[in-house]
Chains A and B, each alone.
Chain A
Amino acid sequence: MKRFEPYVFLRDFASRWDVLAFIVVIGLVVFLGETSRGLFAPLTALEVTPISLDPSHLPEYAARTTFRMFAALALSLLFTLTYATWAAKSERAGKLLVPILDILQSVPILGFISITVVFFMSLAPGRVLGAEFAAVFAIFTSQAWNMAFSFYQSLRTIPIELSEAAESFRLSPWMRFWQLEVPFGMPALIWNMMMSMSGGWFFVVASESISVGHTTVALPGVGSYIALAIEQRNLTAIGWAIATMLIVILLYDQLLFRPLVAWVDRFRVEQEPGARVPDSWALTMMRRSRLIQGATLAFHTAVMFTSRAVKRRDQPLRQSSDKPRRSLDLLWVMLIVAAVVAGLWHIVVVLIQNTPLKEALQVCGLASLTMLRVFVLIAFASLVWVPIGVWVGMRPRAAQIVQPIAQFMAAFPANLLFPIAVYGIVRWKLNPDIYLSPLMILGTQWYILFNVIAGASSIPAEMRYVAENFRITGWLWWRKVALPAILPFYVTGAITASGGSWNAAIVAELATWGDTHIQARGLGSYIAEATNAGDFHRIVLGIGAMSLFVVVINRLFWRPLYYYAERKYRLT
């Protein structure tokens, strides 16, 4: 029998490493070179080679867009691993960092673009690089927050015995991070990365084709392609763009996320033999390929090597006398107060002085209109998707088919439906206040479906047998069995959908098809208009109002509902 040999790589490590390093480094250099060729070109270069609607350019555009999205995802990951860790490890910092994250989450993402683009352009004046930075940052803002939240939550829920084991075997903080904390948070993090990628697509159009006031920059990519197609009323091009997106989403789903989800399954802490082990052909391929094995090995070695390099400093346990701590606390509080005062001052100077009361009231009115729209739409979407989700969730095979389709639909940018919406509204002279609204929920309604499916599939078989046994059917079945069982899941989905719809309002309330602009009254179109006009004060006012509304609605409505559902209806 072959004896198990750990660290078998030590024997032929050097040679394989050489080959691997060569391939990886050269490959990376080529990829970076290809995609960043134009980065340092002056902005005017974009005018020389403008976006073309010729489908033969689409592979290149798709590559560049994907590259941007993954760059943003890498940034988000970096942000997650640092920000969330800091928030979880330092009680003092956490008190401030967590609420900040909560607010950031509710700031309309598209608002960031108009505000930040000026800053990023000034980093690399007159060069494409600045615009690239701005685009990547915009995508980053649509991906990072939920990832950070999920990792923060994971860090706070590490089982106490695992962390005691790490402590008692004297792992250094560095080793503890890579061997305990990151693996433990991995499953939730991967899931959120998938969600983030879907969310990112939604805003690709807005982030690649940036226009603030009179400046318009169109970075080569699928987003700009779509923007141009809309401008030129080119339906064929829209079709090509949809096809490209479909292919790209399919590719990274199959090549990246499926394998990741299957691989990360082993990180789940519940140690019961998994009921269903996710499978992925790509993962099987990777596991069998020596190249990929080598890469994971390299990562593993890096973790081990750095773990050795970073020593554990044995420090005495926390002393109970807190004299120095208290003064530090005081300093911290003073810092926060100073920051808040400075922030208030800026708000006062920038906003209040430049905003007549009438304008502020008008913004509040518009926000209420958008709020009404969001609630009505969520209700409509629930009426449609809850029954369907329950039906699908109770049939595992149907769920397998529906899940990936819904995932694709979630990534579908609202802009792609502008042609239909604008055509319909103009043709039949419809009221845009009503008929533009569905665009808001186009991408976000799927979260309701996802969660309801998950909820329905987790109804214990015994509970369903009981219902059958007592012949509980029809409305009674929905009222007493299905709806209560899925409620906690549904609320989670509805919260996400509501947050997303607010964001989408900026895109959806102002539809453009060629030179036809159709506008619904609401906060979204207010911000969109202000952005087009480059009116900085009104942008800030609109974004501030939207953040405020979202935060208040979350605190007063969704959060209590969530806790109520969790407490009363969670099946354990």
Chain B
Amino acid sequence: MNTTSPLLQCTDVRKAFPKPDGAELLVLEGMNLELREGQIVGLLGRSGSGKSTLLRLIAGLSEPSAGNLRYLGKPISGPAPGIAMVFQSFALFPWLTVFENVALGLEAQRMSRPEIRKRSLAAIDLIGLDGFESAYPRELSGGMRQRVGFARALVVHPNILLMDEPFSALDVLTAETLRTDFLDLWAEGRMPIKGVILVTHNIEEAVLMCDRVLVFGSNPGRILSEIKVALPQPRNRLDPSFRELVERIYVEMTARPAGGAPGRKENFPGLGIGSVLPHVSSNVLAGLMEAVAAPPFNGKADLPEIASDLTMEIDELFPVAETLQMLRFAELEGGDLKLTEDGLAFAHAALDERKRIFTRHLLTYVPLAAHVRRVLDERASHSARKSRFIDELEDFMAEEAAEQSLRAVVSWGRYAEAFAYDDENAMFSLENPT
């Protein structure tokens, strides 16, 4: 590794958003990151882990609450000329042609016309868009659109290329082609960039493309661990050492927070009414339990395996696995998902029995559900306004999180037939609709 000064350096970066009640919502804390010449660094984590927030801080699109971001030794204030970004949804201007989209960044730099033309055409050539110059984005397929996104970023000759889940809006085949093309250009040194930061929630993509992977944890967003990927390019997904790295990252991502004493109880993170609940449908929960209960897993599944089996990305799989864990239908440890006895029983039961098991677990292990049920039981009218619970929850969490948690409880409560909810009047009740 070379010893020159880093392209980018983040030290102790912290980002919090003010909440309406004056408190603040912490999204990033203690973020340290260094990007050196010739590196691709991956930021890997689930949605809500603050990885995109960090990318926007680096891009100069927002400002840290505390800490330091330095590009080439100078503090970042506002978008820096040497940093360009590729967006998840491409963010092309639909009213501009491919050429005009690419040229836009140079126009903004007020470069001379012939120079703009030369450089834009070169970038279009490089990225394989030759012949599409006068097309409008709507005429292009997703893959071609993202190529425009790349050309637009490369044309300004940035030192650092920021990529915000650039392949996640594409289908599997297109994404793979684009990744390979990008890695080829990078390996041959044909792109005018010195370093890359890639945000992704796809573990294989991170291992395939990056030299270093920073694994992010949530609430608040922070770096859990840093994993070096020393495999030579081009990498092979079926290579055992590749699989091993993927497995290792899964383990990192399912690791319990440090400091927890070992023991059965600790496998289930403590829950109060104040924890934010993920909105996972009971169908998906049942589906995952069935899949894990069935052969070849027979009750215990390796996460990378079941993820590829069900073609789910970690962003989709983890919330489901964690919800099962919270409901005590499964344990999550060391990259494995293991069903509990009740989990297995649920998987093999018929609908009525399933509902009985689910109700028991819901009211025992989800304090918010138990709370709603208790309030309804205690009231003579057996009904309560939704706003009553929202107000309670907002003592613990942001408004959106409160809405989301209550939505989750409504959907589980309806499945379990533990209580009813009428959206029109925003009322909880114990009665079934007539």
Which A residues lie at the B interface, using CB under 8 A? 4, 6-7, 10, 159, 161-162, 164-165, 167-172, 175, 179-180, 183, 186, 266-269, 271-274, 304, 307-308, 311-312, 314-320, 568
A169 and B138 within 8 A (CB): no
Q: Looking at chain B, what size class is its interface with the partner chain?
A: 35 or more
Please tell me which one of the listed residues A165, A167, A271, A308 contacts residue B94 in the complex, with CB atoms under 8 A apart: A271
The segment out of B103-111, B199-207, B231-239 that lies at the interface is B103-111
Can you give 17 contacting A-B residue pairs, CB < 8 Å?
A: A7-B113, A10-B113, A159-B89, A162-B93, A164-B61, A168-B60, A168-B84, A169-B108, A171-B108, A175-B107, A180-B93, A266-B138, A267-B95, A269-B94, A273-B138, A304-B107, A308-B107
Report the Cα distance A271→B109, complex, angstroms: 28
Report the Cα distance A317→B65, complex, angstroms: 12
Most buried by A among B61, B79, B89, B117: B79
Known: A164-B59, A169-B152, A271-B94. 20 other contacts (CB 8 A): A165-B85, A168-B61, A168-B83, A168-B84, A168-B85, A169-B108, A170-B79, A171-B104, A175-B107, A180-B93, A266-B95, A274-B138, A304-B107, A307-B107, A312-B108, A316-B78, A317-B60, A317-B77, A318-B63, A320-B63
Contacts of A165 in B (CB 8 A): 85, 87, 91, 93
Report the Cα distance A45→B404, complex, angstroms: 72
| Chain A binding surface SS class | loop
B91 and A164 within 8 A (CB): yes
Closest to B16 in A: A320
B104 and A314 within 8 A (CB): no
Closest to B65 in A: A320
Report the Cα distance A10→B114, complex, angstroms: 10
B88 and A161 within 8 A (CB): yes
Report the Cα distance A391→B286, complex, angstroms: 45
Report the Cα distance A316→B145, complex, angstroms: 32
B388 to chain A, nearest CB (A): 21
B14 to chain A, nearest CB (A): 12
Report the Cα distance A418→B65, complex, angstroms: 68
Please tell me which one of the listed residues A4, A7, A168, A267 contacts residue B79 in the complex, with CB atoms under 8 A apart: A168
Report the Cα distance A162→B88, complex, angstroms: 11
Which B residues lie at the A interface, using CB under 8 A? 56, 59-63, 65, 77-79, 81, 83-85, 87-96, 99-100, 103-105, 107-110, 113, 117, 120, 131, 133-134, 136-139, 145, 152, 156, 424
Report the Cα distance A93→B305, complex, angstroms: 56
B144 to chain A, nearest CB (A): 11
Q: A161-B87, A161-B89, A273-B138 are in contact. Are A170 and B56 (CB under 8 A)?
A: no
B107 to chain A, nearest CB (A): 7
Please tell me which one of the listed residues A7, A159, A169 contacts residue B104 in the complex, with CB atoms under 8 A apart: A169
B156 and A169 within 8 A (CB): yes
Please tell me which one of the listed residues B79, B83, B90, B117 contacts residue A6 in the complex, with CB atoms under 8 A apart: B117
Closest to A176 in B: B108
Report the Cα distance A171→B103, complex, angstroms: 12
Report the Cα distance A481→B12, complex, angstroms: 57
A272 to chain B, nearest CB (A): 7
Contacts of B156 in A (CB 8 A): 169
Please tell me which one of the listed residues A167, A267, A269 contacts residue B61 in the complex, with CB atoms under 8 A apart: A167
Q: A167-B79, A168-B84, A317-B60 are in contact. Are A161 and B108 (CB under 8 A)?
A: no
A268 and B134 within 8 A (CB): no
Report the Cα distance A194→B108, complex, angstroms: 34
A274 to chain B, nearest CB (A): 7
Contacts of B90 in A (CB 8 A): 161
B122 to chain A, nearest CB (A): 13
A169 and B137 within 8 A (CB): no
Contacts of B109 in A (CB 8 A): 170
Please tell me which one of the listed residues B63, B78, B84, B136 contacts residue A169 in the complex, with CB atoms under 8 A apart: B84
B133 and A6 within 8 A (CB): yes
Query: 10 shortest A-B CB distances, which residue pairs?
Result: A169-B105, A161-B91, A165-B91, A4-B133, A183-B95, A317-B63, A316-B77, A271-B138, A267-B95, A168-B85
